[in-house]
Amino acid sequence: MPHSRNANAVRLEFAPNSLVQTNLSGAAFTGDWLWVAGDEACGLDRLRRLDPMGSDVLRFGEVRDFPLADLLDLPGSADEEADLEGMAVADGYLWVVGSHGLKRKNAKPDRAHADNARRLAKLALDGNRRLLACLPIEPDAQGAPGLVRQARDGRRALRLKGDAQANLLTRALADDPHFGPYMAIPGKDNGFDIEGLAVDGRRLLLGLRGPVLRGWSALLEIEVEARGDHLRLAPLDDSGTLLRKHFLQLDGLGIRDLHFSGDDLYILAGPTMVLNGDIRVFKWPLARTAMAANREPVCFEDELTESVALPHGRGTNRAEAICDLPPELANGQPRWLVLYDAPGADRRDGEHTVFGDLLQHD
């Protein structure tokens, strides 16, 4: 369990034209290299570990952009945001998932009331939001990990089959009694909104920020396989189940990120809607083992333990990403990196540098 937080211990130095800077929503490591995703871009950034500077425990920079349009045939246009919300490294791939949800235009203080009323009534779906993909990681001539369409060993970048309107996952959920009615509601309105991803072989866990149903948050469990030029949903068991639902008691909070540590699953949770509220980390003990043994299509889990509360500001410092720090970077002490969306002045140094926290745990 996490028992201490080292605030602003990780310094991330971006470039003026970086794809991701203040909208951090996902993080994963490959050795000394940190991958980050943002919810307002259509790509990923890679940062290299740099020599310490001053009191900073860890420092990353020399950013390189990886636009998704260079790696995949996207369902939407190259300039449409993918609203990437979760990422994980597993078996030589970087996995990413978009929110899959609709968005609603917001009111603006400089607009007339009638104009703002029209804006609040307008819904949209960026086609790239409905993206679930695996991207091969391959070292370049200098040994730095990069993302490629096709690796030398035959691995290929693949996405879940679909188009700008729907994919295999959203089609499977369209008539679902729990989530079907929420597919037409924007994510920020307690509608359907994926914000967490954990990978266990070919099995994926998708954490939902919304909907939260009568206080129960949800994990979707799916399995994928490569077939042709796409990923397809594969049966989870001999009965042909394509989707399992796990309802978790997180005190009414929605899931913001997921992370396996051994057999335990850690869940970063925060408000479902646009609220300034609690952000906490919960632990589901032996979750990997429990899921492997489970054959029920719907499960309820209320034996989670709360480990630590994280800071938040008013409209700022929203914890959105959590991942393990590699052992070689952690000085032998188990630690997690936590990154924040909309960093406040206390988490910034100039226009292009932001800070994350380290959580120490047992």
> Reading across the β-sheet that carries 305-310, which strands appear in turn?
254-261, 264-270, 279-284, 305-310
Percentage of the chain beyond pLDDT 90 is 72
Class of domain 2-361: mainly beta
Residue 248: name the closest of 266, 229, 275 by CA.
266
Residue 192: name the closest of 184, 201, 200, 203 by CA.
184
CA neighbours closer than 13 Å in the CB half-sphere of residue 5: 15
What pLDDT, in 10s, does the model give residues 59-76?
A: 999 999 999 999 999 999
pTM to 2 decimal places:
0.95
Cα–Cα distance, 304 to 350 (Å, whole number):
40
Q: Minimum mean pLDDT among 84-93, 226-235, 273-282: which range?
A: 273-282
pLDDT at 73: 95
- Amino acid at residue number 290: A
Cα–Cα–Cα angle for 184, 38, 262, rounded to 5 degrees: 95
What pLDDT, in 10s, does the model give residues 176-215?
A: 999 999 999 998 899 999 999 999 999 999 999 999 999 9
Tell me, rounded to whole angstroms, the distance of Cα 49 from its chain centroid: 22
What pLDDT, in 10s, does the model give residues 308-345?
A: 778 777 777 888 999 999 888 877 788 889 999 888 88
pLDDT at 98: 95
pLDDT at 330: 79
Cα–Cα distance, 39 to 82 (Å, whole number):
7
What pLDDT, in 10s, does the model give residues 287-304?
A: 999 999 999 999 999 889
Tell me the domain boundaries of the chain.
2-361
- Amino acid at residue number 15: A
In terms of DSSP bridges, do strands 93-98 and 84-90 run parallel, antiparallel, or are they unpaired? Answer: antiparallel
User: For the chain, what is the mean pLDDT?
Assistant: 91
Per the CB < 8 A criterion, the answer to whether 137 and 95 are in contact is no
Percentage of the chain beyond pLDDT 70 is 98
pLDDT at 362: 65
SS3 state of residue 321 = strand
Surface-to-core class of residue 311, CB atoms within 10 Å of its CB (0-12 exposed, 13-18 middle, 19+ buried): middle
